[in-house]
Amino acid sequence: MTFMERSVKHYLAIKAARQIREEIEKAGLDDLKAVADAGKSIIGIYLKSCSPEEKKRLKQDGNTLARMGVTPEMVLAELAGQNEELSSIMEKRKDYKRSEISNLKAFLEEEEAKK
């Protein structure tokens, strides 16, 4: 993989994470630690609050990123890097991090299964 390809993948992961972070903030999930402590998925709560149109767009964007080699792990790692509270949760709870990655993958695979 060339430097340019790696740079593009990294840029896309940053952009996707920023968009998710902004959407989570807009959805009012202010106390992420409380959500995580309750055993609830931050990603799942956000996705449930999305309209069908938003979900469709997110799936299309996510699957486009996947085809370009940007994985849910990359996006979630970048998202944690942009949010101290989320980073702390992910560092302390590896099973929670795996669960959130699994939720993202399942969401994206829903769309692929329909095709």
Question: Model-level pTM greater than 0.75?
Answer: yes
CA distances (Å), origin 70, targets 23, 29, 35, 63, 85: 19, 25, 27, 9, 23
Residue with token string 């799936």: 59
Name the stretches of the chain with pLDDT < 70.
27-30, 111-115
pLDDT at 113: 61
- Provide the 8-state DSSP code for 101: H
Q: 71 is written with which tokens? A: 């994985």
Using one digit for the tens of pLDDT, what is the confidence trace for 13-23? Answer: 999 999 888 88
Using one digit for the tens of pLDDT, what is the confidence trace for 39-55? Answer: 888 888 888 888 999 89
83 alpha-carbon distance from chain centroid:
12
Task: Supply the range of the domain harboring residue 75.
Answer: 3-114
> What's the structural domain count of the chain?
1
Q: What is the average pLDDT value for the chain, to the nearest integer?
A: 85
Neighbour tally for 8: CB within 10 Å: 15
Residue with token string 């669960």: 99
